[in-house]
Structure 1
Amino acid sequence: MSQPATSAQWRAALKAEGVPFIEHPGWTTRGRDQATGNPFGEVYGILNHHTAGRDSLALIATTGRPGLPPPLAHALLRKDGVVVLIAAGRANHAGLVADNVMRAIIAEQPLPKADKSRTVDGNDRLYGLEVENLGNGEDVYTRAQYDSWVRFDAALCRLHGWNERSAAGHLETSVEGKVDPAGPVEGYGRRGRFTFTMGRFRGDVAERLRHPASWSPTTEENDSVTPDYVNLGLADGYELAPGAWKDIAFTAEWADEPGGHAAGDATVVKGPATFTGSLALRFEGLDVGEVVQVRMAEYDNAGALKHSHPIHEITGTRGGSFGVLPLTKRIGAGRNLRVRLLNQGPGPIEVASAIVTALVWEG
């Protein structure tokens, strides 16, 4: 735990980390502490948001929203990479936070799926950063903006002696179905365009924290960029009725930094990307000689089927029926890859296991 940063500590930490910033008038005394009777702190981490709009400074600092008085964050990160300091006290940005996620942030452990049954007020305990982005999946975080974003979170982590797991996204803490932050990023360091995820962001914060605050990532092109690791599966088996193609909705994710896929998400990889790996399937109740067809399919961002890849078949055998299919493909921008199954037998079967393991190069 830590006491909230003083104005002098804010300035020194951001300056040392190379974050360009300006100070909104009155920020050092702005907060909801007196109005609510709830003092800000102890603090345990940073909660990252996107604004879902443009020109949000007045809204965040002085106007607020109906039923939600300002300030709505401690800082705003503009498109040009400049941070605007808005409040030093309590801000209305986090709302209710799942208690199990808050405990993981405090312990600096991987964040679990939010348990909605028990919550705490995140405004008391978390810094809030709003990053300017429309949140429509098309508006791009600029290279300067993402670089400052990584530096900002790293600066607060370094100031308080936290590791990168003290940086969280609103989508990870919310019990109300928040989806931010999200969207495409123009680039960072050697990396070209990629899709924002909290796992990758925490990796970039961790890299900064391994260097002095004055460090900057190289921007030299390098074709050996480390790919993302995708490992998806099923928490429980499910019944597959005969006669119709159906997407596999993955309910489990295993990785060093989980969080790239929501439970029940049918999307395996989002384009543009190149990937290689395998899909392992196990069926129960598939009669000997009966067939389940498997194919990869591409959907657009609106969920419309755009392209189906060649069919693979798994034939029933005594006991369980197994198959391992290779995955090596290129998927374009605006396309999402899913796995589809068609049970050609006379009755329902169980999809007992479905595991995707892949390396993904985005862009």
Structure 2
Amino acid sequence: MATPLSASAFLAALRGEQLDVVEVGSWRTHNRAGHGAWGPMHGVMIHHTVTEGTAHSVAICRDGYSTLPGPLCHGVIDKAGTVHLVGYGRANHAGLGDDDVLAAVIAERTLPADNEANTDGNSRFYGFECINLGDNIDPWPDAQVEAIARAAAGICRAHGWGAESVIGHSEWQPGKIDPRGPIGKKGGPALTMAKIRARVAELLDQKTPSKPSTPSKPKPYTPPAFPAGLAPNKAKPSAKTLQHALKATGYMPKSVTESDNYGPITQASVARFHNAHPSYRSAGKSYDPAIGAKGWAYLHRLAYGN
């Protein structure tokens, strides 16, 4: 049990583990104050986002949904291992969980099965959302797994906790599955909380955390060239690449079957993108179903950029 770290101490704890940290807007004061307690703190909880794309995932975790206001965590850990701080204080990430699990975390002993949802976790755990589809296919890059362990270790080090104070959402709330998926590549070994805790324990044994090995820096993302002639109500050139990017950023439902035709569903999805990013909308239009070359490039950077 511990008093919550100040926002500055939280940031220092992460940077002390040699993590790359990005501060998103007014994260220090963005929280769910007034909707329940914040503290005392007992541990760190790890989640996966069920989303793709860094910008899209960070925006959702910061702002939330109409049915679940943000922030949805304190930090978002992207595929490259960068931690994006989106809120601090009470956040909508843990929900109701098992009081027996909480007792085990406090005692730092083996966790029992989570079969009850009777205890507020939002007031008791720091939360990190990690970008992954959660479909047990989308892989976890080594850099991201290492960043998860380092983020958790930093908070544990600041509070004097052991690795047993780090749990997954699946270990807290019945019915949850996160985090899960293969490490490194499709078909790789499964990510488990046992592996994360083992790495946290190794890091905590190091009095001065060493800097993680830096993978070769990827080349800046270059969007595909805008297909000349792409326009509403046409089937040539194909609209499939546009539809795939709209799905990756959440502006088109994943259940929609991709097709060559730039039909009404695609047009409405493009209009939703424009509503979120009006600077890419044609001048004077409040409803613009045509993507345009600049909007095309920005949409693809949101979906697939680094």
| Normalised-by-shorter TM-score class | 0.5 to 0.7
In the TM superposition, what is the alpha-carbon distance from 1:214 to its structure 2 partner? 2.0
- Deviation string for 1:306-345 (max 9, x for gaps)? xxxxxxxxxxxxxxxxxxxxxxxxxxxxxxxxxxxxxxxx
Q: Name the residue aligned to 1:256.
A: none
Q: Where has structure 1 moved over 6 Å in runs of 4 or more?
A: none
How many residues are treated as equivalent by the alignment?
210
Cα displacement string for residues 246-289 of structure 1 (whole angstroms, at most 9, x for unaligned residues): xxxxxxxxxxxxxxxxxxxxxxxxxxxxxxxxxxxxxxxxxxxx
Does 2:47 correspond to 1:86?
no
Task: Please state whether the residue corresponding to 2:97 is helix, strand or coil.
Answer: strand
SS of residue matched to 1:165: helix
Cα distance in structure 1, aligned partners of 2:208 and 2:90: 27
Partners of 1:218 and 1:60 in 2: CA distance: 28
Partner of 2:127: 128
- Give the Cα separation in 1 of the matches to 2:213 and 2:202: 12
Distance between the aligned counterparts of 1:82 and 1:27, measured in 2?
Answer: 16
Where does residue 139 of structure 2 map in the other structure?
140
Whole-Å separation in 2 of the counterparts to 1:181 and 1:66: 24
Q: Which residue of 1 aligns with 2:43?
A: 45
Shift in Å at residue 47 of structure 1?
A: 0.8
Partner of 1:173: 172
State the distance in 1 between where 2:100 and 2:108 align: 12
SS of 2:157's partner is: helix
TM-score by length of 2: 0.66
Residue segments in structure 2 that go unaligned for 5+ positions in a row: 215-306
Question: SS where residue 90 of structure 2 aligns?
Answer: coil
Deviations along 1:140-196, one digit per CA (max 9) or x if unpaired, are 111111111110000000000000010000111112x01000011118xxxx94210
Q: Which structure would you say has the larger RCO, counting Cα contacts within 8 Å and 6 or more residues apart? A: 2
Match of 2:248 in 1: none
8 Å contact from structure 2 (residues 17, 211) kept in 1: no
Larger relative strand fraction? 1
> How far apart, in 2, do the equivalents of 1:46 and 1:100 lie?
16
Counterpart secondary structure, 2:16? helix
- Match among 175, 186, 192 for residue 197 of structure 1: 192
Residue of structure 2 equivalent to 1:339: none
Q: Distance in 2 between matches of 1:87 and 1:201?
A: 23
More helix by percentage: 2
SS at match of 1:154: helix
SS at 1:56 equivalent: helix
Distance 1:89 1:200 in 2: 28
Give me the whole-angstrom Cα distance separating, in 1, the residues matched to 2:73 and 2:205. Answer: 28
CA 1:171–1:13: 2 relative to 1, 3 Å: same
Is 1:20 aligned to residue 20 of structure 2?
Answer: yes
Higher Cα radius of gyration: 1
Q: Which amino acid aligns with 1:184?
A: P
- TM-score, normalised relative to structure 1: 0.55
User: 1:166-315 counterparts in 2 under 5 A?
Assistant: 166-175=165-174, 177-186=175-184, 193-215=188-210
Tell me which amino acid in the other structure corresponds to 1:10.
Answer: F
1:170-229 deviations in Å (ceiling 9; x for gaps): 111112x01000011118xxxx9421011111111111111124235789xxxxxxxxxx
Partner of 1:60: 61
Contact 1:100 1:115 (8 Å CA) reproduced? no
2:115 and 2:82 map into 1 onto residues whose CA distance is 35
Flag the 1:133–1:161 CA change in 2: closer, same or farther, 3 A.
Answer: same
Aligned letter for 1:7? Answer: A
Structure 1 residues 78-118: Cα deviation after superposition (integer angstroms, max 9, x where no partner):
111100011111000001111100111111111100132x6
Identity within the alignment, %: 40
